[in-house]
Amino acid sequence: MSAFLTWEEEHLEKLNHVERKKHLQKIKIVRHLYVKGARSNAEICNRFNISSPTSMALLNELMTEGLVEKQGRGESVGGRKPELYGLRNNSLFVLSIDMEKFSTRMAIFDNNNNNITGTHTFPIRLSKDLSALEELHQHANGLVLSAGIDADKLMGIGLSLPGLVSSREGDSYTYLLTGQHETPLQDLLALKFNKPVYIQNDVKSATLAEYRFGAAQGRRDVLVLTLDWGIGLGVIMDGKLRVGTSGFAGEFGHIPFIDGGVLCHCGKRGCLETVASGSALARIAREGMQAGQHTLLSQLTGSELEKLEPHAILQAANEGDQYAIQLLAETGRNLGRGIAMLIQLFNPELIIIGGKMAEARQYITTPIQQSINTYCMTQLRERTEVALSQLGAQAGILGPVATVMERIFEHRMESSK
């Protein structure tokens, strides 16, 4: 294990200027190899503006510490092919936790983003109070033990959850409320796990996953829309995730959309979520059937109808049900109108649509594009690509990994200056 990545700040304070500089350079190289993959010595020299002997000395130290290894040879532009250096598999680990309202997914990833345990789903209900924490802790510890990894190599734990989450404060304002505790949720979890813990809103977490591992790689101005029961928005501008002053940026689903519309769970009326989310889709479908609308969904019983999920409507549409297709088209038109506003506000190069509703594919993307064409200025929409997520459901479990690695390296580099 490379001990320098786990040094406490007290240890760093004992380093002299030269040692601190070398420590910082090693962290930057490790971060670069994590983000970009295997690189040659020359590429590292150019990236960090250091000499070849200095770069090679740092790489040799990282290889001795067991974190870096030679990984074949790169392309040659004439002459001998350069050796490539990359992070060794299973050198570092991250525990990823993705909490939803009624279930929680967990997986352990190594430093090369290999899922070494597979993704496990546990019936942990997301509570308003802290009652879910003990069960969360037990299942997480069980997964770490069953994986048989060296606990010292577990760099940190990433937790994504819905609602209002301030990653800066390390606290949630919707679920797992700390109540009378003065200690933020993130710090309470760190004490419980005895490891660094980083929390993030689920949509922003998925946005980081798209930026690091998905269609947003290499892009600088990207919007990520997650369409599930609600609507979430993640914003990447100038290559950085934007969170806003309180950490709550992206509450796109709660913009006013319909004057005097349906009451939204946020307390306002007529939010976009009341006409363009999974919960709205299910509600409108039920209302139509209760009014006598003919549809394949009519075969559902009273209790099944009450628990109607968007997936059932998607399935009916795929079977040619015109009512289901009409509902999805109207949802897409409303979303497209909202997205047209986003394009004119942010001028993104790419908009990624993910979440369970994205499984509707052309039933929803076609009306979205039609609305964008109607409501958005030509000069802006022509430069914006709209695409479905390549990661799909994987974005939810990869997001906490990206969050941990971003924050760990950020913290280490800041404390080493």
pLDDT for the residue numbered 300 = 76
Alpha helices in 148-256 (DSSP H): 185-193, 202-213
Which SS3 state, helix, strand or coil, does residue 294 take? coil
Alpha helices in 196-307 (DSSP H): 202-213, 273-276, 278-290, 302-306
The type of residue at 112 is N
pLDDT for the residue numbered 1 = 39
pTM of the predicted model over 0.95: no
Residue 143: count of CB within 10 angstroms of its CB: 18
Residues in the chain: 417
Torsion of CA 177, 182, 185, 190, to 10 degrees: -150
Q: pLDDT of the chain along its 417 residues, tens only?
A: 345 555 455 555 666 777 778 888 888 898 888 888 899 999 999 999 999 999 999 999 999 988 899 998 877 666 688 899 999 888 889 999 999 988 999 999 998 889 999 999 999 989 999 999 999 999 999 999 999 998 888 989 999 999 899 988 999 999 999 877 788 999 999 999 999 999 999 999 999 999 999 999 999 999 999 998 889 999 999 999 999 888 899 999 999 999 988 998 888 999 999 999 999 999 999 888 888 888 988 887 777 777 888 888 999 999 999 999 999 999 999 999 999 999 999 999 999 999 988 889 999 999 999 999 999 999 999 999 999 999 998 999 999 999 998 888 877 666 555
Sketch out the chain's domains with CATH numbers. 3-87 (1.10.10.10), 93-207+396-416 (3.30.420.40), 215-390 (3.30.420.40)
Q: Which residues pair with 231 in a beta bridge?
A: 227
Tokens describing residue 212: 């690091």
Q: Which residues pair with 232 in a beta bridge?
A: 226
Q: In whole angstroms, how far apart are CA 341 and each of 121, 133, 254, 334, 377? A: 37, 39, 14, 11, 10
Using CA of residue 145, residue 148, residue 149, residue 152, what is the dihedral sign?
positive
261-280 burial, b at 16+ Cβ within 10 Å, e below that, comes to eeebeeeeebbbbbbbbbbb
Which SS3 state, helix, strand or coil, does residue 84 take? strand
